[in-house]
Structure 1
């Protein structure tokens, strides 16, 4: 705790240090304490009734609080980036209210004329409030200290003050302790110790406060610095893990997240505990920050505080998570504007992540200084692995870390800015934070000294990128030092760039570095269970450099306006030769960047049983080597989007497409004859599932040729069991979990009639199911056999008996028309608060070239419950037969694809009919999305 200031006639006393509010102007506009104190004296003079006095005081102070908050907001809007001013204004406002409440309580509610020595109270602000910084709706952390155990008077006085603050609608974190209790609690609990470290005198008995501060220094702080630092760093690591250990999560927590305010404050607390500094600038005198880093600290803190204050004001409560719905509003309040290729919200968030990155940089160098100050000679205070490699090309080892022999080492030969990272990778070494700091400082030499054109620098960079060890970690260090973005300036443009949607969890640079890490994991066989095919393929690829460079460049042209795949392919033609790739390798990388979305789009949005889908895909890919490279690139790209995006269904679809395309590319277009394929599939089903031949032939006869081509062996086998179980029943529904696909296979056998598909889809939605794929067949004897792949809202199969029973009952009810489907589905709309931050403009494509037999319709729309049902209903109204449906979701965007014909089985190719179909589907895609977004 540090000594502080007292009021003298409305102005603070300037002592050894300025009080935290010295920079605020026009205090009385925030709150006029003197005028309010006069009004409170009048209230006390008007009535002797304590309850009436209290009520009148609360009314007066509540109005002052509201006026003060309005002034805070006015100042915030006038200077939307001045977070520190807004935070200090709020703390100042609360200080005055606490003082007024205290004085009124001890003078007019519980006056005690002959108080004993033990009946003294001091009020202290702790935590962020103690620092003099509060977001508008933060908790008020306040401590009441008494000399000894509490007397009945101190208890009454403290309780009355707390009730006043609660009645004002404030959230109060409080403690009441004697001096002995305070020291004991601080020794026992790290949180209390940290809160008291920021202790600041607000009001009450000043002498008692000075005693408390002296005892805290002597009994809690002295001699315990090492333990405090170790505990604080462990607490920070635990917090990062909890918050999703990355600075670049697209909905960050401004206070607790990595690179957030709490990380900055941890540095201050550590410096405070060790060196007893009272303000952040004093960390420079203590040798823990340079003057330049102090500026960086102040800029980051000011920006993060501003964001947090805007968040609180907009939410009307203590809210620290910067969710999508707030991002757009805060970008506008902080005066960000759209630019070509980048919206205002993306520019705002890029600045946010750059500040979060600079918090990370500061933390690294701060801890290095700390390490140097606190470690014994030749040892390290913070633990690490020690190795002794042989040649270090002039670099030196400092306690097991790569360091510089002198500050001008990079300036003498700027290629060393790349070489240090190559050495770190090769020998598995950490880089000394002092060397990282110097690299950050000298990174600009990469531009001025022609390092990008240096063949040796490019070869070293390529060594790091394609390292068989741990390229992800070293590239991340390179990025944090600012060397990566200077050496590959196109990469520099996407550093800290977010994509404003619910699908991408990370910024573009973080996504790219994660994808490179995943590629290394696959190559080393560390993800064999998740990616057996990619792991096998990595061993067959001719040029591993090609796939690593393609992963580096696949998203490099995002945020430039235009198609990032096309722009990126052009960029690759420039960058690859510079990195030392041959002409053939350059061409392949460029092709991979151009088509990096092709394989996932084909697998997730098209019918893989339609041979034309495979032929069209193979036509673009053209070689087995490109196919191998494209699969691996697709897998790491999807997986690096964020947790939970990759699943077994995606693995299944990509493997299916790979196998089918590989066969076409190997054998040319001479695909095995249709009859031969059907015959071999029938053999496989009969052999695998041991049906007796007679029964098998009888059931098999009922199914048309198109069915045998469309469905995989295991689905056919499940269908045959289902048909046999159905017997002559007019309706039979069965559901079996399919772990390979990570979904439940729902099979419906029913008398075929128009509208069957949309009703089944409605029933499945009502039971809480999401349809990810659907195939519709008609048996030779006129029954509909429909196969749906269904997942629960969390993307898992329906597996429990109760869940499956609910699913089948909902489908039965929908088919029997027992309930009006649409009103029920609309009533079931799930809470979609995050999606409301986005607008997906619906669009419809009708394609008659993608299939020889079917018209392919693709609908893009805002994802919502019952969307598929409404689209299917529109198709039913348009007198169209649906043969298969494929559903892909990308965060808030849904892409639903239908393979359809008219009622007599022909393509829909009359322009007038296509136009009507587009119009009707567009209405269905739009109809509820407007209400959902506006709701």
Structure 2
């Protein structure tokens, strides 16, 4: 795909001037080599500086930038070749020199060179065993390497080009992109003629199938979605490689020399080609900025680079959206356009193959006779519009075709997708208000087959955003954080897919309650609509839950929901974070936690709906976000709330609850139940209410063994697969700061504390239970891992040494966290618990954070009774249940202000910088 003409080429490099300077250098043979290198090195440096200046001046001119980089290298290589042929490997006087043609291959052949792209060269030679040929090629390569260029090269005769292209698809594709650079042009033309005559002719269908197979495999490797929040500009879905694949196919079948010729080949309309060119130019510009910023061949648009590229490409902040979010939204819209163009291209190609051959199709399986379904044509499993004006005559059909596709489990013909994309603009307010259109949309959204896939097609065609403009506003919208893996629209569509999978029983093992309860809902369509709308107001500024509820109140009646269903859907959108925040940030053993949650939920129907929405919302954030620990917490909250809602207020008092829990622990202990008679009164009522029976039983046994052995310190680690974490129990003489030291010791060996409960026996011993995960969110299970945790805790408690300097040296939990501006905050809540002051601290996730916060509380004489840790990508949210030294809540405003100041200081980036070694 040739680059546009360059302006003022000599400002990049003046080959004639350089050639003259080289010719005037004294010496013969290799005597002038160093001087030539010095000239070329300076020319390369100046050329790159000029191109970098142009990139800053014209930050979106991707084609011009890549063309300039290619032009610069073209001239350098021509100068090197001429010098080497004349001085380093001259032709013998007594015989004709064997022909050599220097050819640019790969991205260089396409003139798509970013500042640090590899230089791919192919030397086409008349004879590979000719000494002068070998010497000349070696001389050229050594000069290029000495200039610091990364050069990939191959040396082939014309016969080898033919034979190797037939045997190796990678070589075939590379040669397909070759561009004559220098040397014997007749040899290049001869190789090109034989390549097409002996390799390409007759293998067109095979080539296309192979390229599409390669594309699908590459997409799978890169995450199989174009909406990952750290995309690979070159290899990712919707990236440059997808556009290149179209060019390869067009060149192979139609011999196009330039992407513009795809229009003449009938594969694109002029408007589609302009869209192709615009997307390609933007992606090329982004790639050039990545190379220019990093000084290397970097194609990943990582979080830390996104901000700088957005700044360079002059994206500005807008209300509700930062500059980087606006830049990334535009990026994803271009990636989406690449996907749409691919569908159009392949649809046209299929048509051409169908006309050219007696066979009816391009892909296998086109032997069925066409049939008619509600006015549409169904052929070989594909649903097609019967005419070019089908959607323009009745735009409601733009909704209908997708509903039929979902209900009948049919694909939509690519040409019909092209029509839908083209005609999506005919969806106006009248269509949006049409009861039939909304009924069709609701049927699709709540479909029982594959609503996720079909809604994604609808989104790709631009119909979804036109029919639901509020959804169009979050189309391709990225959330600039490390927690969300996908854009808002992709996250939403995935959540609907998980909802469908739960309903079909496909996720029963991971979501047993949701799988059971979804069939008890009074209105399943309310759940699907609430899932669609739960993030609909992101990027508007303000609380997206509150703003989203207002959108729900407006849209639900339009979709056909009743007044009662609308009220429920709006409540769900407003409170869609309530259950996760309660489960992950509050102490479920504290009765007030459940009381407050139930007071908001009020009905079993709301509880069921909210629990299922919470599950799919977390799951759709990205791979690994859902885990068994989150499932355990949500399940525990669900069961407690369900019991309270079903039976009303607690049927028994605190004394009865403690007795019931002791009885459950006695049963759990089995043949060791006698330990309860010895130790049951050792622990206070809050312990029995807080700890589950299985953990309490383990604590009792460990305490008994430690007492028998006369141990002043007992540390026990055990993987708990059900909770998805490792249970770490520490029994020691209680003293101020014990929690802080244990937390530091666990972090020091790479553990992340996700939950902690701190208890003191009537005899003054601490029994502290920690749930710990490894950096990937899994339990520690290997014996050596458990031993390291136990040893680290024992050393920390025995030695009393300062742990903070060691902890500060540990790497950040996740690469790229430093790209985000996370301002620490502290919130106090004296109403969330009857007995404790609840303190929530939000900060950038980093080594030793929990340890530093615990130290700050210790120094402020606040006693930690339980701690709950949640991670949202680069952010950590740590919740502490505390009292003062006398066991009372902390209510004095001055004390709270001092605690806030100490915690903010402990959580700040400045504190981290002071701790890190120089």
Does TM-score exceed 0.5, indicating one fold?
A: yes
Matches within 5 A, 1:282-681: 282-375=261-354, 376-377=357-358, 379-383=360-364, 392-447=373-428, 450-681=430-661
Match of 2:889 in 1: 907
**Displacement of 1:368:** 0.8
Q: Does 1:839 align with 2:821?
A: yes
Any conservation in 1 of the 2:424–2:462 contact (CA below 8 Å)?
yes
Secondary structure of 1:900 counterpart: strand
CA deviation profile, 1:335-379 (whole Å, cap 9, x unmatched): 110000011111111110000001000000111111111234563
Any conservation in 2 of the 1:150–1:178 contact (CA below 8 Å)?
no
Structure 2 residue runs of 5 or longer lacking an equivalent are: none
**Displacement of 1:185:** 1.6
Secondary structure of 2:447 counterpart: coil
Q: Distance in 2 between matches of 1:110 and 1:549?
A: 74
Any conservation in 2 of the 1:118–1:147 contact (CA below 8 Å)?
no
How many aligned residue pairs are there?
913
Q: Does 1:279 align with 2:253?
A: no
Match of 1:205 in 2: 184
Any conservation in 1 of the 2:667–2:673 contact (CA below 8 Å)?
no
**Displacement of 1:296:** 0.7
In structure 2, the CA distance between the partners of 1:547 and 1:881, relative to structure 1 (3 Å rule), is same
Any conservation in 1 of the 2:737–2:858 contact (CA below 8 Å)?
yes
Q: Pairwise CA RMSD of aligned residues?
A: 1.7
Q: Does 1:802 align with 2:784?
A: yes
**Displacement of 1:411:** 1.3
Q: Distance in 2 between matches of 1:386 and 1:112?
A: 62
Any conservation in 2 of the 1:754–1:876 contact (CA below 8 Å)?
yes
Secondary structure of 1:135 counterpart: coil
Partner residue of 1:250 out of 226, 229, 232: 229
Match of 1:7 in 2: none
Secondary structure of 1:476 counterpart: helix
**Displacement of 1:756:** 0.4
**Displacement of 1:159:** 1.1
CA deviation profile, 1:708-740 (whole Å, cap 9, x unmatched): 000111111111121122123110100000001
Q: Distance in 2 between matches of 1:670 and 1:98?
A: 84
CA deviation profile, 1:489-514 (whole Å, cap 9, x unmatched): 10010000000000000000000000
CA deviation profile, 1:839-875 (whole Å, cap 9, x unmatched): 1000001111110000000000000011000000001
Any conservation in 1 of the 2:745–2:789 contact (CA below 8 Å)?
yes
Secondary structure of 2:517 counterpart: helix
Match of 1:754 in 2: 736
Q: Distance in 1 between matches of 2:815 and 2:779?
A: 25
Any conservation in 2 of the 1:297–1:359 contact (CA below 8 Å)?
yes
Partner residue of 1:99 out of 78, 83, 91: 78
User: So what's the TM-score if we normalise by structure 1?
Assistant: 0.96
CA deviation profile, 1:79-104 (whole Å, cap 9, x unmatched): 11110000000000000000111111
Q: Distance in 1 between matches of 2:94 and 2:335?
A: 52
Q: Distance in 1 between matches of 2:94 and 2:123?
A: 17
**Displacement of 1:819:** 3.7
Any conservation in 2 of the 1:327–1:345 contact (CA below 8 Å)?
yes
In structure 2, the CA distance between the partners of 1:307 and 1:585, relative to structure 1 (3 Å rule), is same
Q: Does 1:68 align with 2:47?
A: yes
**Displacement of 1:600:** 0.3
CA deviation profile, 1:287-328 (whole Å, cap 9, x unmatched): 111111101100000000000000110010001010011111
In structure 2, the CA distance between the partners of 1:621 and 1:498, relative to structure 1 (3 Å rule), is same
Partner residue of 1:788 out of 770, 776, 798: 770
Matches within 5 A, 1:8-27: 20=2, 23-27=5-9
Any conservation in 2 of the 1:755–1:876 contact (CA below 8 Å)?
yes
Any conservation in 2 of the 1:135–1:308 contact (CA below 8 Å)?
yes
Secondary structure of 2:427 counterpart: helix
Any conservation in 2 of the 1:623–1:665 contact (CA below 8 Å)?
yes
Any conservation in 2 of the 1:21–1:132 contact (CA below 8 Å)?
yes
Q: Does 1:811 align with 2:793?
A: yes
Deviates more, 1:180-189 or 1:114-123: 114-123
Any conservation in 2 of the 1:419–1:457 contact (CA below 8 Å)?
yes
Q: Distance in 2 between matches of 1:21 and 1:587?
A: 57
Q: Distance in 2 between matches of 1:534 and 1:540?
A: 10
Q: Distance in 2 between matches of 1:188 and 1:24?
A: 38
Match of 1:770 in 2: 752
Q: Distance in 1 between matches of 2:367 and 2:852?
A: 63
In structure 2, the CA distance between the partners of 1:388 and 1:897, relative to structure 1 (3 Å rule), is farther
In structure 2, the CA distance between the partners of 1:811 and 1:281, relative to structure 1 (3 Å rule), is same
Match of 1:823 in 2: 805
CA deviation profile, 1:445-488 (whole Å, cap 9, x unmatched): 1116x111111110000000001111001111111111111111
Any conservation in 2 of the 1:148–1:180 contact (CA below 8 Å)?
no
In structure 2, the CA distance between the partners of 1:804 and 1:337, relative to structure 1 (3 Å rule), is same
Secondary structure of 1:741 counterpart: coil
In structure 2, the CA distance between the partners of 1:216 and 1:143, relative to structure 1 (3 Å rule), is same
Matches within 5 A, 1:689-704: 689-704=669-684
Structure 1 residue runs of 5 or longer lacking an equivalent are: 1-18
Any conservation in 1 of the 2:814–2:874 contact (CA below 8 Å)?
no
Match of 1:153 in 2: 132
In structure 2, the CA distance between the partners of 1:272 and 1:166, relative to structure 1 (3 Å rule), is same
CA deviation profile, 1:865-923 (whole Å, cap 9, x unmatched): 11000000001101111000000000000000000001110100111111101110010
Q: Distance in 2 between matches of 1:118 and 1:67?
A: 35
CA deviation profile, 1:176-234 (whole Å, cap 9, x unmatched): 11222222221111111111111111001112111111111111111111111111000
Deviates more, 1:333-342 or 1:438-447: 438-447
Q: Distance in 2 between matches of 1:550 and 1:810?
A: 47
Any conservation in 1 of the 2:824–2:841 contact (CA below 8 Å)?
yes
Secondary structure of 1:111 counterpart: coil
Q: Distance in 2 between matches of 1:712 and 1:353?
A: 47
Any conservation in 2 of the 1:878–1:917 contact (CA below 8 Å)?
yes
**Displacement of 1:699:** 2.0
CA deviation profile, 1:367-416 (whole Å, cap 9, x unmatched): 11111112345633224699889762211123431111211111111111
Secondary structure of 2:456 counterpart: helix
Secondary structure of 2:908 counterpart: helix
Partner residue of 1:220 out of 199, 208, 214: 199
User: So what's the TM-score if we normalise by structure 2?
Assistant: 0.97
Partner residue of 1:880 out of 848, 862, 870: 862
Q: Distance in 2 between matches of 1:457 and 1:512?
A: 21
Any conservation in 1 of the 2:13–2:72 contact (CA below 8 Å)?
yes
Match of 2:839 in 1: 857
Partner residue of 1:177 out of 152, 156, 162: 156
Match of 1:730 in 2: 712
